[in-house]
Amino acid sequence: MPDSANAQQSDDVQQPDPIDDPTAIILYGGTGDLAKRMVLPAIYELFTRGLLPDQFRLIGNGRGDVSAEEFAKHIRDSLTEFSSAPDDDEFAEFAKNVSFAGGGFREDDPGTLLDAIKQLEEELGHKVQLVHYLSLPPVAFEPTTKAIKAHGLNYDTAKAVYEKPYGTSLESFHALDDLVHSAFDEEQIYRIDHFLGKEATQNLYLTRFANRLFGDVWNRRHIAQVQIDVPETLDIADRADFYDATGAMLDMLATHLFQVAAEVALEPPLSMDPEDVQAARESVIAAFRPLDPKEVVLGQYASYLDTEGVEKDSKTETFAAARLWIDTDRWRGVPFLLRTGKMMKESAQKVSLIFKPSDGPLDHIHPDANAIVFDLKGNGAIDIRLTVKKPGPDPLPAESATSLSLANVAPGSMAPYTSLIHDVLSGNRMLFTSSTGLESAFQAFQPMLTDARPQVEIYDDHSWGPPSAKELTGPCGWLLGD
């Protein structure tokens, strides 16, 4: 593509404004796996971009007795392993703002966290905004929230970030949400889903609303089905305790994939203001028809039971595929096919809109020859599959495809967690789901928690999952893997 057609380069990328309020980010589970892989690199990226408040502190919290120096070294090691080795001088400046409050944090024993906050406020001479980041297993959400409330750390300017899954059923969601709302107002609560922080996920609606080439065909008159496909080649690695208690449906399908489906299916919001976009997304989640267990396939990869930490008779699914229906005028009758799994043949994150056959003499073209495919990895790409004339004397059709890489559009884009944590600091709730939205998601998912849940089928490691999942797609087949 010639330079004249390129999107604006990095020096034109709009940077968000830095946050002015003095802030303490309290990272519960500060030395845990999620923190080192995602949260700590994101916070450090905000620091290097100048997007943290001038007066900020990162206070790690956990049961161990960890010094500030040890925690800083842990952060540096995490950056080297999961991001990139930091500049020595830059990291030294960052480390000045890092401390650790050990001894855990419970209703009956706050450990050293209250002392750490008091010391910080004495140093700064005033109170600070607290951001409670619960980088914890879901089982710890309840006791940590109770402790935050019991020790008076839930005042009006405080914010609370909760990881997924936020509840495991409609009943447990209500119980957790009632507890969280007893400590915080809804506007203080941020339920994080990093798929919504992806630049490429946000492209699903921005590309549609800004380009009639896409927007005018984004409906049931033209679309035969939508496929949201997130297979992974990885196993569950060192997440056995979490994963065996959670499974693919709660870990991926009822969280990430539901949210992406809503991004595809939402109606044009009144404006692109955060409140309007959030309202449009949650309005369409409310239109999700409850999953029919007969339209769901569950699987478990063959070597799963050999994993250390997995129960030998575990029925936990490592694969889930489902046919989701959205009862709006735009999408009624169009199946949304959702698929995710561990130890599959390829890793991908793709959203495919497959068109209905054209009217006229070429109505026999295979469905997968006419599709728009959004790649959600990294900065993303848009693949357009077309049927064109086959070279030669006869007017015969041939399949063709072209790909538009979006890497040149946003060379300065932020990682999903970086973007979302910045939104927490600035109070932008557009990419977070409200209590009402999550309730609707659990209502759609609830049938999978009944006795009608389908049996788990065993599939070969590094395959495309149970063969029966192909039946969900009808004549189209899965675009990826078939």
194 annotated binding-site participant: yes
- E-strand ranges in 15-91 read 23-28, 56-61
299 annotated binding-site participant: no
Here the tokens at position 381 are 């790409």
Decide if 171 is inside a domain.
Answer: no
CATH of the domain at 272: 3.30.360.10
Same domain, 391 and 318: yes
Cα 308 to Cα 128, 237, 238, 447, distances in angstroms = 43, 9, 9, 30
Active site (catalytic) residues: 256
Same domain, 459 and 383: yes
The SS3 call for residue 404 is strand
pLDDT digits (tens, 9 = 90+) for 272-308: 899 999 999 999 999 999 999 999 999 999 999 999 8
Q: Would you put residue 265 in left (φ > 0), alpha (ψ -120 to 50) or beta?
A: alpha
Same domain, 249 and 381: yes
- Identify the sign of the CA torsion 133, 136, 138, 142: negative
Domain end residue (candidates: 116, 146, 163): 163
Same domain, 133 and 269: no
pLDDT digits (tens, 9 = 90+) for 352-405: 999 988 766 655 556 666 889 999 987 788 888 766 666 777 666 666 667 777
88 annotated binding-site participant: no
pLDDT band at 21 (very low <50, low <70, confident <90, very high): confident
Same domain, 205 and 347: yes
Helices marked H in 211-257: 212-215, 240-244, 247-248
> Tell me, what's the pLDDT at 3?
40
CATH of the domain at 48: 3.40.50.720
Same domain, 267 and 352: yes
DSSP code of 463? B
Residue 180 has pLDDT above 70, yes or no: yes
Same domain, 251 and 394: yes
Same domain, 126 and 203: no
Same domain, 98 and 204: no
What is the number of domains present in the chain?
Answer: 2
Same domain, 268 and 333: yes
Element (H, E) at 117: helix 113-124
pLDDT digits (tens, 9 = 90+) for 152-166: 999 999 999 999 899
31 annotated binding-site participant: yes
Decide if 173 is inside a domain.
Answer: no
389 annotated binding-site participant: no
Decide if 232 is inside a domain.
Answer: yes
Nearest to 97 by CA among 61, 62, 52, 133: 52
Kindly report whether the global pTM for this prediction surpasses the value 0.75.
yes
CB 226 within 8 A of CB 208: no
Nearest to 437 by CA among 261, 319, 273, 297: 261
Same domain, 150 and 268: no
Same domain, 148 and 209: no
Decide if 178 is inside a domain.
Answer: no
- Whole-angstrom Cα distance, residue 381 to residue 183? 42
pLDDT digits (tens, 9 = 90+) for 418-463: 999 999 999 999 999 999 999 999 999 999 999 999 999 999 999 9
Decide if 378 is inside a domain.
Answer: yes
Decide if 172 is inside a domain.
Answer: no
Here the tokens at position 156 are 């009006």
Decide if 251 is inside a domain.
Answer: yes
Range of the domain at 324: 195-416+453-476
3-state percent helix, strand, coil for the chain, nearest multiple of 5:
40, 20, 40
Decide if 107 is inside a domain.
Answer: yes
The SS3 call for residue 387 is strand
